[in-house]
Amino acid sequence: MAYAIKIRGVIVCFVTAVVITALSLSAYYSGAYAVWFGKSSAKLPIYSVGTEQKVVALSFDCAWGTEHTDAILQALERENVAATWFMVQFWAEKYPDFVGKISAAGHEIGTHSATHSYMSRLSAEEVRSELRSSSAAITSVTGKPVELFRPPYGDYDDLLIETAQSEGYFTIQWDVDSLDWKDLSASDIAMRVISGVRPGSIVLMHNNGLHTAESLPIVISALKNRGYTFVPIGQMIYRSDYTLDHEGRQQLT
């Protein structure tokens, strides 16, 4: 009996070891390894910047409509805040007057792709085409080069990031999501942003959110009172000598 119990114990230990090994390998290749051990086998976009300075970047994705865009621009102008706007090519071509207006107001403009598709499903050549044509549409209006890229839907893979990098782009995500596209109230949007911001945060908003413009004075005032300053993403990120941790947060090397 004792021998049988001992054998069963050995078998249980063996099976447990096999399961743990299998789970560990699965975690490594699925990306969970990055969360558990602070390393990543996959390439990541920039989600935020590791800094002790109280800086934060507001960003606006432009894909549909302009009904609320002037109100957002006015709110930013009143607070003397420059932000980053990511534009889809078909939006930029449909509203070139807004592209020019945003650029003339001192804001930074990046590309949000040409067609707003899931770009992880595209080939490298298709990605290059999206980046080049969308950037050309923006530059034709502003006269300024485009160096920042935000993938639609936050969707990316290694090929996308590598291709964008080879084309000279920094791929940008966010670590604070306002959820303004859900038509939350101004106070709810503001609460999400204010409670989520830390030094080096990138905030995701949209150019045509129903209550985005109303939320901005609340957000900006509250964060300024906490000692934050607002800068475009391109002025906040590190351009070289950095690594990305498992959260996609830049750290100087």
pLDDT band at 42 (very low <50, low <70, confident <90, very high): confident
- In angstroms, what CA-CA distances link 251 with 50, 154, 228, 247? 5, 21, 20, 11
Task: Find the range with the poorest average confidence among 34-48, 50-64, 92-106, 233-247.
Answer: 34-48
Task: Check whether residue 107 and residue 64 sit in a common domain.
Answer: yes
Decide if pLDDT at 39 tops 60. Answer: no
Let me know if residue 38 belongs to a domain. no
Same domain for 198 and 232? yes
Residue 15 pLDDT > 50:
no
Residue 111 resides in a domain: yes
73 and 150 both lie in a single domain: yes
Mean pLDDT for 194-216 is 98
Active site amino acids: 61, 206
Residue 21 predicted with pLDDT over 90: no
Task: Indicate if the pLDDT at residue 199 is higher than 60.
Answer: yes
Band (pLDDT 50/70/90 cuts) for residue 52 is: very high
**207 assigned to some structural domain:** yes
Same domain, 16 and 123: no
Does 41 map to a domain? Answer: no
The 10s digit of each residue's pLDDT in 138-193 is 999 999 999 999 999 999 999 999 999 999 999 999 999 999 999 999 999 999 99
State mean pLDDT over 90-118.
98
As for how many domains the chain has, the answer is 2
Percent of the chain with pLDDT over 70: 84
* Averaged pLDDT score across all residues of the chain: 88
Q: Domain check: are 9 and 75 in the same one? A: no
Which residues constitute the domain of residue 19? 2-30
Q: Give yes or no: residues 93 and 131 share one domain.
A: yes
Q: Is the pLDDT of residue 96 over 50?
A: yes
